[in-house]
Structure 1
Amino acid sequence: METLILCIDRDDDLGVKANVRGPVIGREANVEAAVRLATADPEDSDANTIFGGIKVLDDLAAKGVDAELVTLAGDKNIGIISDQKIANQLDALLKNIRFESAIFISDGAEDETLLPIVQSRIKINSVKRIVVMQSANLESTYYIIKHAFNDPKISQTFFVPLGLASLIYAFFLMIDYPQGAIIGILAAVGLYMLYRGFGDPISVYGERIKDSFHSGRMTFLTYLAAFLILVLATVLGLARVWELYTREGIWYYGVVPLATVFINTTVWLYVSAFLIADVGKIIDCYRSRVSTFRYIIPAFFVISMGLLFWGASTYLMSISTVIGGSSIDPAVGVQYFVYSIVAAIVIALVGIKVSTSVRMEENQTLKGSNNADT
């Protein structure tokens, strides 16, 4: 086959709205898919993109060029998950059908972010953007804003923070504590922004946890236990800080001492959570006969980091005049800090040694199995 005409539905509107699974191969299949999508949502631009690909296919066929039209569909979780699905579909397509070059059909900048993925697998000779022409009255500001808010991707980003802020403010007004509304609103909006910022990794981890549950892997239980420990550690740390805050107030203790108390209270629980999750990975890798050495060094380094944070926070508490100073002698605090640094270095070196030994043993085992096969 000479030319691949490639259309991409990154957010899988074909599957969500028209119940059409990608990839869609061939002119007739794409015509049917575009009609079903346009019928389900006449305003979806992906339907116009497919029709644009059909026109390009017909023009090439009239010139005697051997071409094929293919539409790839991603996932509603735009980002790593959707791009991986598109890449897998493209790899399977190019494995079964050989194309010399491709024409990329796009409806905007979002689809064109996938150009590097496509270019790494096949040469692209042309990029054609499909622009839908509308009448002047439909291009008014009201129409644009109205339809933007009807788009789930935009409305979720815009309305969710406002809704959270309104609910939190109403709750604190109801309990007659308006000062807490500021703290609650900032915390909720901050968490939401972190979730949006780390949305792709969170989605990937969610898919991994779901897969580990259905496949009966140990990581499901260890991840769940680690999550519960993280929540418990955070609650305990915040409770300790809140106890000090309500006793004298933040202006008496200061931000740094309160942060030191939080770290000293939670550090070993956080370390335990990571180690439990890491043990689950090691067990699953061992059961699957997959290399485990890359999970060994992080465990030792996390313990080393825990020692450093614990030693530093203990020393800071010992020299503080408002927290811990009466119960922890500064000389003892210095000793704890120095000992923690030495122990952290020793544990890190042990981790490197153990990981190197495991890697060498696994490489020797792999070489032995290869020699036996030959």
Structure 2
Amino acid sequence: MKTLVLCIDRDNDLGRKTDMDSPVIGREENLRAAEKLALADPEDSDVNCMFSAIATFDRLGEDAEIVTICGSDEIGPVSDKIIAEKLDEVIDKIKPDSAILVTDGEEDEYILPIIESRLKVDAVKRVVVKQSKTLEGTYYLISRFMEDEKMQRKFMLPIALVLFFWGLSAILGSPAWGFATVLIVLGLYLMARVFHLQGFARSLGKEVYAGLRSGKISLFANLLSLFIMLSAVVSAYNMVSTVEPAPHGAFEYTIMFMDEIVWWFVLSVMISAAGRFTDVYFKEKKVLWGYVILPFSLIAFGLLLSASLDVLIKISINGEPIQSLFTMPFLTTIIEGVLIAFIGTVLYHIAEDMYGEEEMQKS
């Protein structure tokens, strides 16, 4: 029975502070890594975990192996995926029968399921560092807590945002607005934490910055599309909320709202697609044929949906009979939509014959 003594560094402190790669396998390698991390940051809790793992390994004797696995500073799905991949690599190489997890106890609920899905966990050893309980020690711990980047992002950032917006609202004499803003900001922050949107927000910010530096047409096209959609939503809401006579229920409000924004939605998507098409054409000298056909599909979609919504409005709100389906304007609009979609399909197949199926699929 071979036991794996496992130390997990979920946020990759070892890699960031010592430039060492994981997995770190073997007692000597782990001792060297722990010493390097201790010299780089003596107050890092991972130092104590690694030394405790080495001590546990020494007590187990020969029928054991010690491994330290690091994740990523992008804590969440990214780091956990890296840990899972490296753990699979270690299991394939060492072939242990069970594991003992040595941890500082901070994020056991995230790490344990990854390990237990692959290995039988015999024990979990939590390393707690003894601290002085004097006032000076407490002050020191708080100051270190405030300097820790992980703690800053998790706890200090939301507190700072709350204090900032509350103070700003007090200066402006609008405490009610300040309280509402605090709730909104905290709600958005908690949603970002729950759904792990930090990585998405970071990549989006990098994309926007890169777009501004390189003058990407798609960036400005997307911003214009977003502005048009927001304006359309606000305008449609104002129209629906003041319409006379008032609709009877949520269904009527919904179809009226959709009828107001359908063509603005079509326009927004076309502008966004045009920006993407332009960027790819000038940067890669490639024609995105799928985007060329897109206007036909969007216009057909707009015609069919708007005609259907108009009929629903007549039947559910104006009380007109079902025969509204067979009026000439409705049938004409439906036929136009089908014809435009048919033309788009024919053009796509013509382009496919001219440029080849492989080239079309790439676009």
**TM (normalized to structure 2)?**
0.59
Counterpart of 1:235 (choices 222, 230, 236) is 230
Partner of 1:348: none
Partner of 1:216: none
Q: Does 1:29 align with 2:25?
A: no
Q: Is the 8 A contact 1:106 1:112 kept in 2?
A: no
User: Structure 1 pair 157/106, CA: closer, same or farther in 2 (3 Å)?
Assistant: closer
What's the RMSD between the two structures over aligned residues? 5.2
Q: Is the 8 A contact 1:229 1:273 kept in 2?
A: no
Q: Does 1:125 align with 2:122?
A: yes
Partner of 1:113: 110
1:304-336 CA distance string (max 9 Å, x none):
9x969x949x849x95xxxxxxxxx56499979
Counterpart of 1:96 (choices 93, 97, 103) is 93
Distance in structure 1 (CA, Å) of the matches to 2:168 and 2:101: 51
Instruction: Name structure 2 gaps, 5 residues minimum.
Output: 208-215, 243-249, 277-296, 335-363
Name the larger-Rg structure. 2
User: Structure 1 pair 147/230, CA: closer, same or farther in 2 (3 Å)?
Assistant: farther
Q: Does 1:196 align with 2:181?
A: no
User: Structure 1 pair 170/13, CA: closer, same or farther in 2 (3 Å)?
Assistant: same
1:93-134 CA distance string (max 9 Å, x none):
222232222221121041353222112212222222222222
User: Structure 1 pair 48/179, CA: closer, same or farther in 2 (3 Å)?
Assistant: closer
**TM (normalized to structure 1)?**
0.57
Q: Is the 8 A contact 2:237 2:257 kept in 1?
A: no
1:216-252 CA distance string (max 9 Å, x none):
xxxxx9x97996477335531465279779x99xxxx
Q: Is the 8 A contact 1:5 1:68 kept in 2?
A: yes
Partner of 2:9: 9
Distance in structure 2 (CA, Å) of the matches to 1:205 and 1:127: 35
1:280-314 CA distance string (max 9 Å, x none):
9xxxxxxxxxxxxxxxxxx9xxx89x969x949x8
Partner of 2:157: 160
User: Structure 1 pair 170/9, CA: closer, same or farther in 2 (3 Å)?
Assistant: same
SS in 1 for 2:74: coil
Moved more, 27-36 or 223-232: 223-232
Q: Is the 8 A contact 1:12 1:76 kept in 2?
A: yes
User: Structure 1 pair 242/150, CA: closer, same or farther in 2 (3 Å)?
Assistant: farther
User: Structure 1 pair 334/78, CA: closer, same or farther in 2 (3 Å)?
Assistant: farther
Q: Does 1:74 align with 2:71?
A: yes
Letter of the structure 1 residue corresponding to residue 47 of structure 2? A
Letter of the structure 2 residue corresponding to residue 36 of structure 1? K
1:54-92 CA distance string (max 9 Å, x none):
11122223xxx2322110011122221111000000111
Partner of 2:60: 60
User: Structure 1 pair 157/67, CA: closer, same or farther in 2 (3 Å)?
Assistant: closer
Q: Does 1:137 align with 2:134?
A: yes
Matches within 5 A, 1:148-297: 148-168=145-165, 181=178, 184-200=181-197, 203=199, 228=223, 231-237=226-232, 239-240=234-235, 266=261
Distance in structure 1 (CA, Å) of the matches to 2:88 and 2:54: 22
Distance in structure 2 (CA, Å) of the matches to 1:333 and 1:229: 40
Q: Is the 8 A contact 1:237 1:263 kept in 2?
A: no
SS in 2 for 1:22: coil
User: Structure 1 pair 135/167, CA: closer, same or farther in 2 (3 Å)?
Assistant: closer
